[in-house]
Amino acid sequence: MVTASTLPVLLLIAILWRITKGEMLSIVLFTSAFSAASALNLGPLGVEPWLLAFMICMFFKLALGTPTLKFPPGLNKTAFVLLILFVLYAIGSAITAPYLFQGVTVVRSGIIAPLTWSTSNLAQSFYLVVAALLYVLTLSKPLEELESAVQWYIRACVAASLIAMYQLANAVLHIPYPTQVLYSNRTYVIYNAYKIGGMWRLNGPFCEASEMASFLIVGIALLGWELLTTPLRLKRVAYFILMITSLLMTLSSLGYASLIIMTLVAMFFYGYSVLRRGISPTKFILALSLVGSVTIFCTLSTKGVETVNKVIASTLIDKSNSDSYRERTATHVFALQTLEQTDYVGAGWGSLRASGLAYILLGTVGLPGSLLLLSFYLSLFRPLLRRRSSILGDQHFEFGSINGRELFSKSLFSATMLLCAMLIAGSEPVTPILWVLFGIATVAQSQHATVAVYGEEVFAGGGSNPLSRVTALGLSTRPYTRKT
């Protein structure tokens, strides 16, 4: 059944297809910003725009010619195998566990009920399969298309932030707001802008503020990495400030805690880099001005002090006394009880809902599935364990306009920040950006056609004509340039 969002979503997909020239990952990631909209209603279930975009793109790709999956040499095979094993185990648990442990107490949508197989197992398994397909497709894409997908995700974060600002204008000035188009998904409970402690809490095109916060965290991590490692551009700085402002206006404890963690991690690695290589004077002046202005606002302005106190109290200090905190804690307890009652193998993928990634994994796929996913994540760091390697890198070698090492580093950093946010308060790990970042972290390093080892060039894949292999990857054959 069509909704008020159907036509706008189809138009958006068509425009994105034309602009990106059919880049599926870019289209899917941009449309994932509109999770509160339903492109189609299938009974009580709403089809999110990114899922419809994925199906339409797949149809046209197959109709125009069956795409071939060609993985580059040097692929992180350990990570690939572990993630595929996790997906197979999760789907297998969704099929078998509800029958093996029927009657075990689980929590679904805040309701305590005995475990039985339901459409939730089917739906979550379907989302997991689509996420796995996105991961596999990411592995087969060239670096240029992967970088393009990352940039389109940042644009999606900017679009979501602008919609949130428009939502604020609607709440304050009562100007028209396209509620029917943006909030048409029946599957979720969708909130409008409301006040907490006299401050507006915004959710933009998402169902709730915390979901918007977790979405923006990835965009802030990606763009923040670029600001730290590349020359400054005014447009990037403006986008970064806009996303930070929107994140703060979600009044989400998840967003605030994730932002604090990300800031501390970034300060550590960037401080190490500054000690090794120095800092750009422009970046130093900008950072000093930003810190100084925030400090003055928070300490000398009476209104600023009151605002900061309200934000801290409502999002962090008083959170333990809120109903939502008690409900989340209750889901944690029931998830651990479910884990114990199912002999630590879980109640099956999609069988329960809990707040926090760790509790969801333990309750659904148990210890085996949780260890598989954890092992996969840790295996993504294997390239950093190679000789003379670090996450920031003292040197790297560039071919063409895209550097695989930099793409790998910022993707792994952003995926880590998203996982931290999901550990605080997240749902099933099936968001498109997470699996695309997983794919980039698995493959980006392998697409470095050459590396330097003590002044010698080693070409990926070997062969008598290594330059032809470089050209096949779509990279330049010019001599490498060393950056120190």
What are the tens digits of pLDDT across the range 89-122? Answer: 999 999 999 999 998 888 776 678 888 888 889 9
Strands (E), 1-77: 40-42, 45-47
Task: Look at residue 336 and tell me if it is in a domain.
Answer: yes
Mean pLDDT of 213-231: 90
**Range from 118-132, 308-322, 423-437, 469-483 carrying the lowest mean pLDDT:** 469-483
Task: Look at residue 95 and tell me if it is in a domain.
Answer: yes
**Range from 14-28, 48-62, 303-317, 350-364 carrying the lowest mean pLDDT:** 303-317
Residue 330: per-residue pLDDT: 79
Please state the pTM of the whole predicted model: 0.83
Task: Look at residue 31 and tell me if it is in a domain.
Answer: no
Residue 290: per-residue pLDDT: 61
Task: Look at residue 425 and tell me if it is in a domain.
Answer: yes
Task: Look at residue 160 and tell me if it is in a domain.
Answer: yes
Confidence at 42, pLDDT banded by 50, 70, 90: confident
Lookup: tokens for 444:
């980006």
Task: Look at residue 472 and tell me if it is in a domain.
Answer: no
Rounded CA-CA distance 257/312 in Å is 11
Rounded CA-CA distance 49/160 in Å is 14
Mean pLDDT of 414-431: 89
Task: Look at residue 357 and tell me if it is in a domain.
Answer: yes
> Domain of 293?
76-448
Q: What percent of the chain has pLDDT over 90?
A: 45
Are the C-beta atoms of residues 8 and 49 closer than 8 Å to each other?
no
Mean pLDDT of 245-267: 86
Rounded CA-CA distance 154/176 in Å is 26
- Rounded to the nearest 10°, the torsion over CA 407, 277, 419, 91 is 40
Residue 461 backbone zone (phi > 0: left; psi -120 to 50: alpha; other: beta) = left
CA atoms lying within 13 Å on the CB side of residue 362: 18
Task: Look at residue 126 and tell me if it is in a domain.
Answer: yes
| DSSP code for 196 | E
Residue 354: per-residue pLDDT: 83
Mean pLDDT of 312-332: 63
- Rounded to the nearest 10°, the torsion over CA 70, 76, 78, 82 is -70
Q: For tokens 């997470």, name the residue.
A: 434
Amino acid symbol at 379: S
Residue 445: pLDDT over 80: no
Residue 302: pLDDT over 80: no
What's the total number of domains in the chain? 1
The pLDDT tens digits for 385-410 are 764 444 544 433 333 456 778 899 89
